[in-house]
Chains A and B, each alone.
Chain A
Amino acid sequence: MKEGNKLQESTVVDNVSKALHARRFSVWHEVPNLGQSADIVAMKGSKIMMIEAKTYNWQRALQQCKAHEVVADYICIAIASKQISSKLYEFANYLGYGIIHVKTTNECLCELVLPPKRNKKKWQAQRLVLESNINKLIQCSYNIG
């Protein structure tokens, strides 16, 4: 059995969100972006960080993050596991993504093991569409911050 299966993905999302909120980010879940939904969108000031949360399938998270390159300032993968795979670290570092490690312990502590690099592939036109989607969520009172 894989280590990450001990945690549900929703638990990963909740714990990362709480950690972000503690650092004064505004946080939303399941934000539509380019035909898919980002697990977590965190905003501070005008900067947007998009996070995909996984319990084990980090390869899938890397694929999902590709779409976020068009709109996000920073991109992270939140992974629940005993250890961070060296392959994940290598790929994430190459792509400029950050890694948030959610430890599979009772406390589910979150640690930023690889800070994300500033994304330079952002297209402002599409970014405005994302901001519009976030505004719609605000109107629907989905802000958990």
Chain B
Amino acid sequence: MTFGTFAEQRFFIYPDVNTYDGVIINANMVAHAPEGLAAFLLEKTNQKPYIIDPLTHAFQHDPTHITKINDDGSVETKSSIKTLSNNYGNAIKDIVGKRPLFPRDLTENLNEFVDSCIKFQKTHLSSLMANRDSNKYLLFASDDLTLTPYALVAPYFYMTEFTAKDWLSVLIKSAQRAKEIEPNYKVFSAIVVSRGVILNDDLIKDIVSNFNNINIDGFLLWIDGLEEHNASAAELKGLLSLADGLRKDETRELINLHGSYFSILAGGGQIRNKSFSGVAHGPEFGEFRSVVPVGGGIPIARYYIKSLHNRVKYRDAVKYLLEKNLLESCNIYYRDVCDCTECRRTLNGNPNNFTLFGKSDTKLVKRNSGYVTMEYPTRETKDRCLKHYLEVKKTEYDFARTAPKSEIVQDLNKGIDEYEEIAGLDFVTYLDTWRRVLQ
């Protein structure tokens, strides 16, 4: 699971200590709060392996994404990015916040950049973890405690179908250098590409063949803004084609950084070969993500409907469950909607308590020349929805790994059959698309 904020750190052992195989942490968080993260990794994750995403693509975009405007009007690089850039060498330090990074900037400085980036990942947290008191107790209790990352990630760059020709060679050289300086360490590259790339068979072949010719242990994969619930069959096929090619007959690891149930099934090994060795997302967010963040919007409570394998707005979930008479009794709810611990705890014998998954506080918000009242989910609501989500997700991962193919297909069809009439064909068609693409 991907670390988001410290508010969610307690969920990295939820519903149980063995739920997750590892933690992904963004390098800007490592730069921003290293002590807190060192403590988190040692004490809140049951010592799960971790990978630091070096976030090197951040430097190639418009600097406005990594700068802020102060009250006096001056522009300043965000402090976490500034700290990161100070650790990444002159190629980054010289341009950060001023202009985007170009491939030409790395013609002479690439090795320094790679060396610095790898060193940052290897030592920035592990040194702090080694000095924590809790580490002494853990070392006493365990023979194989590892403080360094599970894998080191070579600096990487976002590629579109138009810029791949400029960045791919830099990406390859970066990966080669990283493996050269750390031959005994697991080294990954990161493939971060636009949706146009996965629709271009020639590009996919080009990327795959380039990486097949070098010594690398694995990959992180991120398709810009690919929302598997809305993706076309062609995009999903392209995703799998790229993943399968990079995995080189499953001899290399590949973690999809932002995947939903489709990716979970694609990595489960039961419905097809394992296109992914791992699938990541955040605590209830991050099943898709744009490379250049698009933020904002009012938070709305969302409930993960098991049969749909999708988070839906609370108001839609209520509508669907009412139409199907699934809130008539707790027994019906547990049988046909969800019987996870959180649902049982929330309903507590009364199906009307389903409203607690949407409970909100109202606040006055300034709008134009006046004020309007807006709803925001309460902290408790967010926790309930998140716990329910994590419990259902765990069952999805287990199901994808163990269920026979026929049951997986039946489950996808069940979602269509149950919700097509009330939610509409368009709303559930992704289940059919997934089934067709995966088989």
Write the residues of chain A forming the contact surface with B, with a CB cutoff of 8 angstroms: 30-37, 66-67, 69-70, 121, 123-126, 128-129, 133, 136-137, 140, 142
Asked if A70 contacts B362 (CB within 8 A), the reply is no
Q: Does B322 contact A (CB under 8 A)?
A: yes
Asked if B374 contacts A126 (CB within 8 A), the reply is no
**In the complex, number of A-B residue pairs with CB atoms less than 8 Å apart:** 64
Partner of A30, one of B300, B355, B373: B373
Q: Does B364 contact A (CB under 8 A)?
A: yes
Residues of A within 8 A of B360 (CB): 32, 35
Expressed in whole angstroms, the Cα–Cα distance for A123 and B358 within the complex equals 14
Write the residues of chain B forming the contact surface with A, with a CB cutoff of 8 angstroms: 298, 300-301, 313-315, 318-319, 322-323, 327, 352-355, 358-360, 362, 364, 372-375
Residues of A within 8 A of B319 (CB): 66-67, 69-70
Shortest Cβ gap from A50 to chain B (Å): 13
Asked if A137 contacts B354 (CB within 8 A), the reply is no
Residues of A within 8 A of B359 (CB): 129
Expressed in whole angstroms, the Cα–Cα distance for A31 and B373 within the complex equals 7
Residues of B within 8 A of A125 (CB): 327, 352-355
Asked if B375 contacts A126 (CB within 8 A), the reply is no
Shortest Cβ gap from A134 to chain B (Å): 10
Asked if B352 contacts A32 (CB within 8 A), the reply is no
Expressed in whole angstroms, the Cα–Cα distance for A35 and B358 within the complex equals 8
Residue ID in chain A nearest B302 by CB atoms: A35
Asked if A123 contacts B372 (CB within 8 A), the reply is no
**CB within 8 Å for A126 and B355 given contacts A32-B375, A35-B313, A66-B319:** yes
Residue ID in chain A nearest B327 by CB atoms: A123
Asked if A126 contacts B318 (CB within 8 A), the reply is yes
Partner of A34, one of B322, B354, B358, B372: B358
Residues of B within 8 A of A123 (CB): 318, 322, 327
Asked if B300 contacts A37 (CB within 8 A), the reply is no
Expressed in whole angstroms, the Cα–Cα distance for A22 and B55 within the complex equals 61
Asked if B364 contacts A32 (CB within 8 A), the reply is no
Asked if B373 contacts A70 (CB within 8 A), the reply is no
Known: A35-B358, A125-B354, A128-B355. 7 other contacts (CB 8 A): A32-B374, A34-B318, A35-B314, A125-B327, A126-B318, A129-B359, A140-B373
**CB within 8 Å for A35 and B352 given contacts A69-B319, A70-B319, A133-B362:** no
Residues of A within 8 A of B354 (CB): 125
Shortest Cβ gap from B313 to chain A (Å): 6
Report which residue of B314, B360, B373 has the largest number of chain A beta carbons within 10 angstroms of its beta carbon.
B373
Expressed in whole angstroms, the Cα–Cα distance for A137 and B364 within the complex equals 10
**CB within 8 Å for A37 and B373 given contacts A32-B360, A67-B315, A70-B315:** yes
Shortest Cβ gap from A67 to chain B (Å): 5
Residue ID in chain B nearest A128 by CB atoms: B355
Shortest Cβ gap from A95 to chain B (Å): 13
